[in-house]
A and B are shown apart, each in its own frame.
Chain A
């Protein structure tokens, strides 16, 4: 750090410590003394500034601006897309399980041919020889 910067930083420290008065009266040269007093004056001036009240409808205007900027979608509930809360490994395992289940189900279904031939009624049936 430049010696001048270092000295300026130290003067800021002096003001922050609140002990600047002791140092002003003691062995400092007049330039540093003057500089410290000016800094103190500035500090007091700025501290005297009051906070300004925020405009009345500020909060409402911010909300309106957010809604306008985001097309009204910002606050609305957006359902998370499928798989957002699911890790890829869990997803793969689930997919394999589902596919295996489908395969098993497919294997178990056996289509046997069914013949729906009515047996001949006893009246029309030819009498046994």
Chain B
């Protein structure tokens, strides 16, 4: 049996999850009325995803915070144009990705490289995902160091792949978005998203292995 048969066979097994709109309508209504409490709620609910996408796209904490703040400002100012066809989070992702791309273009035009400045050591393994100090046993220093080193290599590999590839890797493999959401964010058809995603993954692993063998971060 050839590759095509296998590949076609597994096609049916995986299907895209449809983007389900949660009970966001009252919040959107309040946002459109410029209710300050609603805006606070929006920021509180989505700040982590927006900030983390920006951080992985730019690999710089200051720039990521700046862009993430800008994402919310843009969202506030253009909430009137939000058509409620997608979820608020999808809309915010799209703004975030576009602003990050613009920032990267800006640096490319100025021929200056965005300096990578993620503090890998601070807070690593001390905080859990919600930003709370973990009460669990702290891993031994050598394990912690290894984890930090691996993350550095992954981030370096992520930054070395093409921007369009990076965007897909972040949305799908880090943020775990559905293909429907990724299609809405990128404006690409499903087949293109999937084929590019595969190339992006192989490119990332090669970059990661290269960085590992060079010992460069």
Contact of A6 among B61, B127, B191 (CB under 8 A): B191
By size class, the interface of chain A is 35 or more
The stretch among B6-14, B18-26, B102-110 that forms the contact with chain A is: B6-14
Tell whether, in the assembled complex, residue B169 and residue A42 are in contact, meaning their CB atoms are under 8 Å apart. Answer: yes
Count, chain B residues at interface, CB 8 A: 64
Tell whether, in the assembled complex, residue B13 and residue A39 are in contact, meaning their CB atoms are under 8 Å apart. Answer: no
A contact patch SS: helix
Tell whether, in the assembled complex, residue A10 and residue B11 are in contact, meaning their CB atoms are under 8 Å apart. Answer: yes
B182 to chain A, nearest CB (A): 11
Cβ-closest chain A residue relative to B11? A13
Contact of A45 among B192, B202, B204 (CB under 8 A): B204
Cβ-closest chain A residue relative to B203? A42
Q: Chain B contacts of A48 at CB under 8 A?
A: 150-151, 154
B50 to chain A, nearest CB (A): 9
B77 within 8 A of A: yes
Contact with A along B185-203 (1 / 0, CB 8 A): 0000011101111111110
The stretch among A56-64, A99-107, A119-127 that forms the contact with chain B is: A56-64
B51 within 8 A of A: yes
Contact of B192 among A5, A27, A28 (CB under 8 A): A5
Bound: A26/B196 CA distance, A: 24
Tell whether, in the assembled complex, residue B198 and residue A12 are in contact, meaning their CB atoms are under 8 Å apart. Answer: yes
Tell whether, in the assembled complex, residue B173 and residue A32 are in contact, meaning their CB atoms are under 8 Å apart. Answer: no
Contact of A9 among B39, B157, B173, B195 (CB under 8 A): B195
B132 to chain A, nearest CB (A): 9
Bound: A35/B204 CA distance, A: 12
- A13-B11, A42-B205 in contact; A75/B51 too (CB < 8 A)? no
B153 to chain A, nearest CB (A): 9
Which B residues have a C-beta under 8 Å from some C-beta of A?
1-4, 6-8, 10-11, 13-14, 34, 36, 39-40, 43-44, 47-48, 51-52, 55-56, 61, 65, 68-70, 72-73, 76-77, 118, 123-124, 127, 129-131, 150-151, 154-155, 157-158, 169, 173-174, 190-192, 194-202, 204-206, 208
Of the A-B pairs whose beta carbons lie under 8 Å apart in the complex, a sample of 6, sorted by A's number, is A5-B192, A6-B195, A10-B8, A19-B10, A42-B200, A58-B47
